[in-house]
Structure 1
Amino acid sequence: MSVTIKQAVATDAPFLAQMILKSSRAGKKAGLFDFLFDMGSEDDILKKLEQLTQTESKSHCHYKNFLIAQIDGQNVGTLCSYEPRISNQETFEKALKEIGCCEDSEGILEAFYDCTFNIRKSILMFDFMEELDNFVDVGVLKSLMQKSLLTARLRGYRKAQSIIEIGSLETEMFYKKLGFTFVEQKECVDYKETFGRSGIMLFEIEF
């Protein structure tokens, strides 16, 4: 099975929405976007996420930050890479406002952003590393990561980081398998009360 990697385009929004939602849930019933979009139906949440990938404000969810893995022309996985100096809390909140969200979600965003690390602007961030369930262990994530790291090196980066929830065992396993090392973790009461996990972990890779 040959995996090919392509840059995402605007018409990939429906697939990106599926992968973002799956990744954000991290094995739980509900994740950040379920709460932000008021625990709506799955279709409603996906429609909002499609809009979020195409906003004028370039948040980390913007389609231009994504690579897509394909097998025989079928989209099977995603990996997002973004620069914290461009895609940050401010741009994310602007993007949410563009799609009519989320006036009643200040507490959710506060719990999300209060539990964070001091990320250096010289670091490239990875997020939404996800693959379809029936394409696990065929090299999808490895191919995405190899392409992302090659592109990052050509842009002058030598380190990349990723933040995952404590207890996201499958995601943690994948990052370690791909060469990432654990840096630190942070436990937050409000985060646990809101999202059901005790906090977050920071992983890093040098290349």
Structure 2
Amino acid sequence: MALTVRKASETDIEMIAQALLESSRAGKRVGLFDLVFNTSDEEALLGHLKRLALTSTKSYCHFSNFFVAVSGNQNAGVICGYEPRIATHEIFSKALEEIGFDESYHERIAAYLLCEGEVDNKTYVLDFLYVKPEFKTVDVYKELIGKSMLTARLKGYRKVQTSIEIGSAETEMIYKKLGFGVIDEKRSEYYKEQFGRAGIMRLQLSL
């Protein structure tokens, strides 16, 4: 079946919300958005994430930052690509405020903030990679990541970076197959206690 990758639209919001939730949990019981929204109720979380992806404030979770892989007439997977100099943490907080959530979430995600790497403004960031189980092939991942990297080049970026949890072996293997290399990792007992993983690693590719 032929595979194409296109820019996401508002009609893809269901899958984008699912991608935000699933990729942040990465097989764990609790993910980042469980803490941001202070609930683990999946229906409530998906509702919040759909609204977050549709705010007038364009945070890194906004649908306009996503690409969708399509196989036949079905959406197979999505990936987010954004410019950190534009989609800052302040913009994320503003988008949350737009849907009724204040900055108290900072306290709940303190363990994450301890392990989060700093990204310079000359780097393009990939995040929230999600492929439906029935479409999980190297080709789908390759097309999604490849389209994102092409966009980064067209915007003038020469480095592309992503962050994954230490121990996310499948995702790490996919990025490494496409030429990404580990540039650093941050570990924290606090992170391990909260998420059950050692910390976060960053991978980078020069374009």
- Answer whether TM exceeds 0.5 for this pair: yes
Q: Once the 2 structures are TM-superposed, how far is the Cα of residue 107 of structure 1 from its aligned partner?
A: 1.6
Q: Once the 2 structures are TM-superposed, how far is the Cα of residue 104 of structure 1 from its aligned partner?
A: 4.7
Equivalent residue, structure 1, for 2:162: 162
Q: Once the 2 structures are TM-superposed, how far is the Cα of residue 36 of structure 1 from its aligned partner?
A: 2.0
- Cα distance in structure 1, aligned partners of 2:189 and 2:203: 21
Equivalent residue, structure 2, for 1:147: 147
The 5 Å alignment of 1:26-175 reads 26-102=26-102, 104-137=104-137, 139-175=139-175
TM-score where L is the length of structure 1: 0.94
- Cα distance in structure 2, aligned partners of 1:123 and 1:155: 11
Q: Work out whether 1:10 is the aligned partner of 2:10.
A: yes
Q: Secondary structure at the match of 1:57?
A: coil
For residues 41-100 of structure 1, the C-alpha deviation after alignment (integer angstroms, 9 at most, x for no partner) is: 211111111011011221111111100000112111011111111112111111112112
Across the aligned residues of Structure 1 and Structure 2, the Cα RMSD in angstroms comes to 1.5
Q: 1:26–1:168: 8 Å Cα contact kept in structure 2?
A: yes
- 2:140 maps to a residue whose letter is V
- Cα distance in structure 2, aligned partners of 1:84 and 1:172: 22
- 2:20 maps to a residue whose letter is I
**How many residues were matched structurally?**
207
Q: Once the 2 structures are TM-superposed, how far is the Cα of residue 196 of structure 1 from its aligned partner?
A: 2.3
Q: Once the 2 structures are TM-superposed, how far is the Cα of residue 102 of structure 1 from its aligned partner?
A: 4.8
TM-score where L is the length of structure 2: 0.94
Q: Give unpaired runs (5+ residues) of structure 1.
A: none
For residues 107-142 of structure 1, the C-alpha deviation after alignment (integer angstroms, 9 at most, x for no partner) is: 223332232222110000000111000111161111
